[in-house]
Amino acid sequence: MKKYTRRMAILATAAVMTLGTTGGSKAAETIRIGLSAALTGPAAFVGVSIRRGAEMAVDAINAKGGISGKKIELIVRDDEHNPVKTVANHRELVEREKVIAMLGTTNSAAMLATAPIINDELKVPIVAPATDATKITENQAWEQKRDNYVFRLGMFGRGQANFLANTLVQKFGYKKLGLLTWTAGWGVTGRGELNRRLNELGMPAVADETYDTADTDMTPQILKLRSAGAEAIINYGLARENAFVTRTKQKLRDTTPYASAWGIAAPAFWKAAGASGEGVLTSTTISIDGPQSAERKSVLDEYLSRYGEKIDGPPFFFAAYDVVNLLAQVIGKVGEDPSAIRAGLENVPEFKGLIRHFKRPVFTRQRHDALTEADMILGRWTNGQLLEVQYDGSGPYVVLDSNEKKYIDTKTLALK
């Protein structure tokens, strides 16, 4: 028995040593990029979209020979949307798996928690594709003008609130806006940002209503917004409660224009809301419905053949896809040293991504958000598709699959 245990111990030690050495040698053979995201639990659709976007980009780059002959390897960890696990995963990815760059996770709180650890200890660049809290990139290192390793290619809270308020006021011509926000999570920060922007614009919200997670009938809130004379309603919340709002509006035959932050920029909203979601506007970074560029189309087709379904979280998928390509471009130029990659990211003069073709520096030392308010787009839910709203002299319009141009009636958001 005793002999047996000792043999086990020797075997175990040997196994650990082998693991250690393969880890080390692998790091030299491949370029390792890390990802920790919620792959299980309620936020899984965001995490899985990110993982698939990164995977498809990695495979496409490797198929063309990788970066200077080296293949990219994606190392993925599940953090279950739990900030504690995100921080632990990031540490493990950097210290043991020796990744030289990372993609950000699904949870703003986790990104806020990990930012100081990445900047002060791990010093490996991380680019966030999904989380929108403003302070993620404008963190302590940024404030102190030290090297900031945290970047974002996606929505950021302040920009989104500004974009929504500006668009509705300037492009749609509303003067009296009402708010309807979720009392939990990012609804609270969104409400603050929206109120700030509306005050800056000199037209404070005419009504500032909220709802809880369990509210299935929004009659009191809608009636109050209506009696306050709101010409349009802005929401900050998630898909499910947004569907309750549109259904209540349908019940009350209320045609007040309705716009939301990007909580509804995913097919889950239409599935829940059905026809009551027709005409609803949302800020987002990308619309994959309607006419698409050839590059996007080939990625969309490949996604369909690879996973056999439509993308659950298009903004996250495409952001992750672009992040991996951006990292590959930078690593190809500056090599594999993490701090050189960080500096390299701040010096990309042009980048052709699928979300945007950046004809200006993607990031600068001061600005770690790739997308500015000017890059955000407004989508209109149109018969199950989220179509990008565009503008000309006659007002806002969308282009249907049939290439037909339809103007939006700003009084009701119906198509003319």
Partner 1 sequence: MEFFLHILISGIATGAIYSLIAVGYSITFTTMRVLNFALGMWVMIGGMLTLTLNVMLGFNLLITLPVLVAVMAILGVVGERVSIYPFFRAGSDVWIMSTLAVGFLFINSAQLIWGHNPLPVPSFFGDGIIMFGPFAIFPQQILVIATAFVIFSLLYLFYYRTLLGKAFRAIAYSSEVTSLMGINTRMICILSYVMTSVLAGVAGFIIVPITFAEPQMGTVLGLKAFAVAIVAGLSAPRGILFCGLAYGALEALASGYFYTGVRDILGFSLMILVLILRPEGLFGKPTGERA
Does 223 participate in binding partner 1 (rule CB under 8 A)?
A: yes
Residue 403 is encoded by which pair of tokens? 């290439």
CB closer to partner 1 out of 199 and 227: 227
- Residues 234 and 241: beta-carbon distance below 8 Å: no
Q: Are strands 281-284 and 150-152 parallel, antiparallel or unpaired?
A: unpaired
Query: CA 290 from chain center: how many Å?
Result: 20
289-318 burial: b if 16+ Cβ within 10 Å, else e = bbeeeeebeebbeebeeeeeeebbbbbbbb
User: Which of 70-78, 213-221, 325-333, 351-359 is the region at the interface with partner 1 (rule: CB under 8 A)?
Assistant: 213-221
Q: If binding is defined by CB under 8 A, does position 179 make contact with partner 1? A: no
Asked whether position 41 contacts partner 1 by CB under 8 A, the answer is: yes
CA pair distance 378, 389, nearest whole angstrom: 5
Q: How far is the CB of 323 from partner 1 (least distance, A)?
A: 24
Closest alpha carbon to 387 in 407, 359, 370, 372: 407
Residue 80 CB, shortest distance to partner 1, in Å, is 11
Max Cα–Cα distance, the chain, nearest Å: 87
Answer for the pair 182, 166: CB distance below 8 angstroms, yes or no. no
Closest CA to 270 of 228, 306, 240: 240
Please name the helix (run of DSSP H) or strand (run of DSSP E) that holds residue 271, with its range, or none. Answer: helix 267-273
Query: Where does 105-156 have alpha helices with state H?
Result: 108-117, 140-143
111 neighbors 131 (Cβ within 8 angstroms): yes
The token pair at 345 is 């990211």
- Nearest alpha carbon to residue 111 among 144, 147, 149, 146: 149
Kindly indicate which of the ranges 51-59, 110-118, 265-273, 378-386 contains the residues binding partner 1, using the contact rule CB under 8 A: 265-273
Among 176, 224, 333, 406, binds partner 1 (CB under 8 A): 224
Window contacting partner 1 (CB under 8 A); options: 23-31, 37-45, 326-334, 360-368: 37-45
> Total number of residues binding partner 1 (CB under 8 A)?
36
Minimum CB distance to partner 1 smaller for 37 or for 101? 37
- Specify burial of residue 135 (Cβ count, 10 A radius: 0-12, 13-18, 19+): middle
Q: Is 221 in the site for partner 1 (CB under 8 A)?
A: yes
Would you say 213 or 412 has its CB closer to partner 1? 213
* Using rule CB under 8 A, residue 188 touches partner 1: no
Q: Is 253 in the site for partner 1 (CB under 8 A)?
A: yes
Contact track, partner 1, 270-309, x by CB under 8 A: -xx-xx----------------------------------
Q: From CA 120, how far away is CA 175, in angstroms rounded?
A: 46
Per CB under 8 A, 183 contacts partner 1: yes
Q: Compare residues 45 and 397 and give the one whose CB is closer to partner 1.
A: 45
Interacting residue with partner 1 among 206, 252, 399, 415 (CB under 8 A): 252
* Site for partner 1 contains 44 (CB under 8 A): yes
Residue 371: both structure tokens together: 């997308």
Q: Does 228 bind partner 1 (CB under 8 A)?
A: no
* Cα distances (angstroms) measured from residue 317 to each of 44, 76, 212, 269: 12, 15, 29, 17
Task: Tell the residue number behind the tokens 């569907």, with chain if given.
Answer: 243
Residue 322 beta carbon to partner 1: minimum distance, rounded to whole angstroms: 25
The 307-326 contact track toward partner 1, x by CB under 8 A, reads: -----x--------------
Which residues make Cβ contacts (< 8 Å) with residue 355, sequence separation at least 6? 153, 285, 286, 315, 318, 319, 322, 371, 375
Residue placing its CB nearer to partner 1 in the complex, 57 or 243 = 243
Output 153 or 268, the one with its CB closest to partner 1: 268
- Told to check if 220 binds partner 1 by CB under 8 A, we report yes
105 binds partner 1 per the rule CB under 8 A? no
| Residue among 82, 195, 250, 410 that touches partner 1 (CB under 8 A) | 250
**Piece of the chain touching partner 1 by CB under 8 A; list 158-166, 268-276, 346-354, 406-414:** 268-276
Choose the binding region for partner 1 from 36-44, 319-327, 343-351, 353-361 (rule: CB under 8 A).
Answer: 36-44
Task: Tell me: does residue 383 bind partner 1 (CB under 8 A).
Answer: no
Six-digit token pair at 213? 């997670």
Confirm if 269 and 239 have CB atoms less than 8 A apart: yes
Binding residues vs partner 1 (CB under 8 A): 40-45, 183, 209-217, 219-221, 223-224, 227, 239-240, 243, 248, 250-253, 268, 271-272, 274-275, 312
